[in-house]
Amino acid sequence: WSSTHFAWTKELEASNKRVFGNRSFRPNQREIINATMSGHDVFVLMPTGGGKSLTYQLPALICNGVTLVVSPLVSLIQDQIMHLLQASISATYLSASMEWSEQQEILRELMSPTCTYKLLYVTPEKIAKSDVLLRQLENLYSRGHLSRIVIDEAHCVSQWGHDFRLDYQHLGILKQKFPQTPVLALTATATASVKEDVVQVLGLSNCIVFRQSFNRPNLRYFVWPKTKKCVEDIDNFIHANHPKECGIIYCLSRMDCEKVAEKLRECGHKASHYHGSMDPNDRAYVQNQWSKDKINIICATVAFGMGINKPDVRFVIHHSLPKSIEGYHQECGRAGRDGQLSSCVLYYNYSDYIRLKHMVTQGVVEQVTSASGGGSCHEQALETHKDNLLRMVSYCENDVDCRRLLQLIHFGEMFDPSCCGKTCDNCLKELRWVEKDVTNIARQLVDLVMMTRQTYSTPHILEVYRGSMNQNVKKHRHESLHGAGKHLAKGEAARILRHLITEGILIEDVKKSENMYGSTSSVLKANHKKIDDLRSGKHIIVLKFPTA
């Protein structure tokens, strides 16, 4: 699909430059566009920021007729339309919250022979509930004017997904009613089972699948202990590896940003801080100086980064613990967009976790009291946040497994750690190993999952198994089960549990998404077909463990 000899190639490349201002295509964009423009149904899995919008907006511009885009949130739709109108592409939307007269006006325009709309965005409930819209679409279709159907955030179709929406279940009707119109389904978060579900519900039995890995081969990952001399360490690291190059240092608090920036300036770096409580003009000034390379280091809170497209960021340093693996992956992802080798360093200590947990608890409480949300919603969000934090801690405390493997497992991706090529701290260690039979420990973990009725998350199961007596363990009255794994070395139980997940003996069943990265929390379930073999002794588990 990467051919540059399609009938539309010339126009495609010209419009990409002229209308969208892009110099080239990102990975898979050209391939996806060629496949959908050839009339195939296409399923796309691409990480956030990968550039999914272009894969339907560019075809919409080039093809005759109207592209129908189903998107879950009116705010997302409005944002997209604003960008399209800025690029002089005619687009509109229909939502249930609009005045009826306004909706009729838009529908009338769509039917008119002089209609200029290239894209029509709708929320899924319009498809599920509006017969008028369906009749108008039938009309468009019969005149050959329905050029493409796009299902954005397609994972919402699946009950297995973290963001299931009932109205998405009705979208199968589109393929039934408009079999000749190509469908393009897009998502950033789909495991294999979600993908199967989406394909089945939407009726895309012969679709072409583009799956993009979340692996970033040009990024090197390191987790190092955070000491009192952290800023000195950062200074040394930059001097040794990235002198005068451009980078971001993520700090926990606004004050940290200012302090770190000041110390780095004292060390001779051109550093500045950036955070939410600065004057907007100052903020814009800092960002501007940074993009012009007048400043090469920005010490920022996570507020910095959204929409930052600087290609030559050579390092992303975390001066404190990120809030989740998704967030961490996304923040690191701002390094090396030009494909050149770049570094991601995380300075970790346990007390940052305690501090962050406190902040997260306070933060969520504030959010809920200011919104009208109910108590259970608050509890759910808080659990998700804490779960995410614990996963991050376990990532940092793991001093054995490949960092890429740990990140990619989190996104439901398999990764062979021998492919890391010693580009993470753990793979660089060249540890010596002993083999251990851990079948018994594996059985105990599976039993624990069963005894707690398959309703708890991986971090919680680990806490219970290792005998932690934190509040959560007490609250759920799991003291009586706890502690079988007390004798294990730090991280061993986590490794065995992870192995059970990668082997498909335990399954992380995704539950709900609440936080800003669309991150998920999940409960551990057992795969009954496989646990029998484990219990009967048919399946023996031997793992390698590092020796001192």
Q: Which does 402 bind (CB under 5 to 8 A by kind): Zn ion, ligand ADP, none?
A: Zn ion
Smallest distance, Å, CB 399 to Zn ion? 12
Smallest distance, Å, CB 26 to ligand ADP? 4
CA distance 459 to 399: 17
Contacts of 346 (CB under 8 A, 6+ apart): 221, 222, 223, 224, 317, 318, 321, 322, 328, 396
Q: Does 411 bind ligand ADP (CB under 6 A)?
A: no
**Among the residue ranges 60-68, 92-100, 418-426, 486-494, the one whose residues contact Zn ion (CB under 5 A):** 418-426
Q: Binding-site residue total for ligand ADP (CB under 6 A)?
A: 13
Question: Helix, strand, coil % (nearest 5) of the chain?
Answer: 45, 15, 35
Q: Which does 420 bind (CB under 5 to 8 A by kind): ligand ADP, Zn ion, none?
A: Zn ion
Q: Does 424 bind Zn ion (CB under 5 A)?
A: yes
Which helix (H) or strand (E) segment holds residue 248: the answer is strand 246-250
Q: Please identify which residue in 12, 35, 36, 50 interacts with ligand ADP, judged by CB under 6 A.
A: 50
Nearer to ligand ADP, 25 or 141 (CB): 25
Cα distances from 387 to residues 247, 444, 514, in angstroms, run 29, 22, 12
Q: Does 52 bind ligand ADP (CB under 6 A)?
A: yes
- The one-character DSSP state at 24 is S
Q: Which does 25 bind (CB under 5 to 8 A by kind): Zn ion, ligand ADP, none?
A: ligand ADP
Q: Please identify which residue in 9, 22, 38, 527 interacts with ligand ADP, judged by CB under 6 A.
A: 22
Q: Please identify which residue in 35, 94, 345, 420 interacts with Zn ion, judged by CB under 5 A.
A: 420
Q: Does 310 bind ligand ADP (CB under 6 A)?
A: no
* Residue closest to 53 by CA, chosen among 241, 188, 175: 188
**Among the residue ranges 34-42, 357-365, 372-380, 401-409, the one whose residues contact Zn ion (CB under 5 A):** 401-409
Q: Which does 261 bind (CB under 5 to 8 A by kind): ligand ADP, Zn ion, none?
A: none
Nearer to Zn ion, 368 or 400 (CB): 400
* Residue closest to 266 by CA, chosen among 218, 221, 295, 232: 232
Q: Which does 478 bind (CB under 5 to 8 A by kind): ligand ADP, Zn ion, none?
A: none
325, two tokens? 């693996």
532, two tokens? 């029998």
- Helix 403-410 vs helix 492-502: crossing angle, to nearest 10: 50
Sign of CA dihedral 283, 285, 291, 296: negative
* Residue closest to 79 by CA, chosen among 107, 121, 115, 22: 121
Q: Does 468 bind ligand ADP (CB under 6 A)?
A: no
Nearer to ligand ADP, 329 or 498 (CB): 329
CA distance 212 to 304: 26
Q: Please identify which residue in 260, 402, 441, 507 interacts with Zn ion, judged by CB under 5 A.
A: 402
Q: Which does 54 bind (CB under 5 to 8 A by kind): Zn ion, ligand ADP, none?
A: ligand ADP
CA distance 82 to 121: 12
Q: Please identify which residue in 9, 38, 53, 289 interacts with ligand ADP, judged by CB under 6 A.
A: 53
Q: Please identify which residue in 19, 51, 175, 209 interacts with ligand ADP, judged by CB under 6 A.
A: 51
Task: At 543, give phi and psi (nearest 5°).
Answer: -125, 155
Radius of gyration over every alpha carbon of the chain, rounded to an integer in angstroms = 25
Q: Does 25 bind ligand ADP (CB under 6 A)?
A: yes
Q: Do the strands 520-526 and 506-513 form a parallel or antiparallel pair, or are they unpaired?
A: antiparallel
Q: Does 427 bind Zn ion (CB under 5 A)?
A: yes
Which helix (H) or strand (E) segment holds residue 459: the answer is helix 458-465
Residue type present at position 203: G
**Among the residue ranges 18-26, 133-141, 319-327, 412-420, the one whose residues contact ligand ADP (CB under 6 A):** 18-26
**Among the residue ranges 25-33, 35-43, 318-326, 340-348, the one whose residues contact ligand ADP (CB under 6 A):** 25-33
Q: Please identify which residue in 35, 37, 54, 448 interacts with ligand ADP, judged by CB under 6 A.
A: 54
Which helix (H) or strand (E) segment holds residue 210: the answer is strand 208-211
Cβ proximity of 21 and 163 under 8 Å: no
Q: Which does 48 bind (CB under 5 to 8 A by kind): ligand ADP, Zn ion, none?
A: ligand ADP
Nearer to ligand ADP, 46 or 335 (CB): 46
Smallest distance, Å, CB 186 to ligand ADP? 7
**Among the residue ranges 71-79, 96-104, 361-369, 422-430, the one whose residues contact Zn ion (CB under 5 A):** 422-430
* Residue closest to 389 by CA, chosen among 320, 473, 323, 456: 323
Q: Please identify which residue in 49, 417, 467, 483 interacts with ligand ADP, judged by CB under 6 A.
A: 49
**Among the residue ranges 142-150, 288-296, 396-404, 478-486, the one whose residues contact Zn ion (CB under 5 A):** 396-404
CA distance 161 to 155: 6
Cβ proximity of 54 and 22 under 8 Å: yes
Smallest distance, Å, CB 21 to ligand ADP? 8
- Helix 458-465 vs helix 492-502: crossing angle, to nearest 10: 140
Counting beta carbons within 10 angstroms of the beta carbon of residue 161, is it exposed (0 to 12), middle (13 to 18) or buried (19 or more)? Answer: buried
Q: Which does 29 bind (CB under 5 to 8 A by kind): Zn ion, ligand ADP, none?
A: ligand ADP
Nearer to Zn ion, 194 or 420 (CB): 420
Nearer to Zn ion, 424 or 497 (CB): 424
Give me the residues that bind Zn ion (CB under 5 A), please: 402, 420, 424, 427
Give me the residues that bind ligand ADP (CB under 6 A), please: 22, 24-26, 29, 46, 48-54
